[in-house]
């Protein structure tokens, strides 16, 4: 069997007397889109924080592509190919889409700003940037200034800036938050188009999106994974349904 891209074993995070992560174990196989759902306060952000490296677990182990990364800081994890969408903060509004993605490519390569060769004249930077922009569904906006983009398009740009580094694992923390129905539909289409090519861990409140996209879903309640399975298995699980007060909110 193939090696999991991500393997979490017995992860524990305590805040005082509260077990925010209660012996969580899970694996993500290459190419899998795995969603984590759970009520507010279930521990989703804490778990994502531990995977990104911002939150230090009390015990347990995180393996990424077969390597123990439990003690690595966020930047080292990113270099190994673990990408978090929110980490893209350095979007330059006065630059174009292509310039921003090319800059992200340059940063990924570990170069600082080098103005002696104009960035957009370097095919080894521009070509991957154009590919990532296409993957993110933003080709028609290549030359547009970021300040001209709609909210949803800006999210697509952020995704292009993540994809250009060809990450092995994408951690997406509520990518549809604050979006209109139409915009979130675009992100769903985008994630669907990436399916199989990237391994994705998705935390998202939009149940329709989660149930239509995920290969598997893990349900987190009070820091524990109470169920893990396909969307059909999860929506038929009585314990899961009971954990959601608004039972009707769950896709069926």
Q: How far is the CB of 45 from ligand ADP (least distance, A)?
A: 3
Q: How far is the CB of 220 from ligand ADP (least distance, A)?
A: 7
Q: How far is the CB of 173 from ligand ADP (least distance, A)?
A: 9
Cβ-based nearer residue to ligand ADP, 87 or 144 = 87
95, two tokens: 């630059």
Cβ-based nearer residue to ligand ADP, 17 or 143 = 17
202 close to 214: Cβ distance less than 8 angstroms: yes
**Using CB under 6 A as the criterion, which residues of the chain lie in contact with ligand ADP when the complex forms?**
15, 18, 20, 38, 40-46
**DSSP 3-state of 64:** strand
Cβ-based nearer residue to ligand ADP, 18 or 242 = 18
**Nearest by Cα to 117 from 125, 107, 109:** 125
Cβ-based nearer residue to ligand ADP, 3 or 59 = 59
**Nearest by Cα to 148 from 85, 182, 100, 89:** 100
Q: How far is the CB of 43 from ligand ADP (least distance, A)?
A: 4
* E runs forming strands in the chain: 6-15, 18-28, 33-37, 59-64, 67-68, 82-84, 169-173, 199-203, 216-221, 224-229
């Amino acid at each position: 069997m193939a090696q999991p891209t991500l393997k979490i074993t017995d992860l524990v995070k305590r805040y005082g007397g509260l077990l925010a992560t209660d012996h969580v174990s899970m694996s993500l196989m290459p190419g899998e889109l795995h969603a984590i759902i759970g009520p507010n306060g279930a521990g989703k952000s804490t778990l994502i924080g531990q995977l990104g490296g911002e939150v230090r677990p009390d015990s347990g182990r995180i393996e990424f592509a077969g390597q123990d990364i439990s003690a690595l800081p966020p930047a080292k994890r990113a270099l190994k190919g673990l990408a978090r969408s929110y980490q893209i903060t350095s979007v330059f509004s006065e630059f174009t889409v292509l310039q921003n993605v090319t800059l992200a490519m340059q940063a990924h390569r570990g170069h600082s700003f080098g103005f002696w060769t104009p960035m957009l004249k370097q095919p080894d930077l521009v070509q991957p940037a154009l590919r990532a922009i296409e993957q993110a569904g933003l080709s028609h906006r290549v030359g547009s200034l970021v300040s001209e983009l709609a909210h949803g398009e800006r999210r697509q740009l952020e995704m292009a800036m993540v994809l250009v580094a060809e990450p092995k694992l994408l951690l997406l923390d509520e990518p549809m938050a604050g979006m209109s129905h139409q915009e979130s539909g675009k992100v769903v289409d985008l994630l669907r188009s990436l399916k199989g090519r990237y391994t994705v861990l998705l935390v998202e409140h939009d149940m329709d999106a989660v149930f239509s996209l995920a290969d598997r879903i893990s349900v987190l309640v009070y820091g524990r994974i109470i169920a893990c399975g396909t969307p059909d298995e999860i929506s038929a699980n009585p314990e899961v349904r009971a954990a959601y007060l608004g039972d009707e909110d769950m896709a069926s």
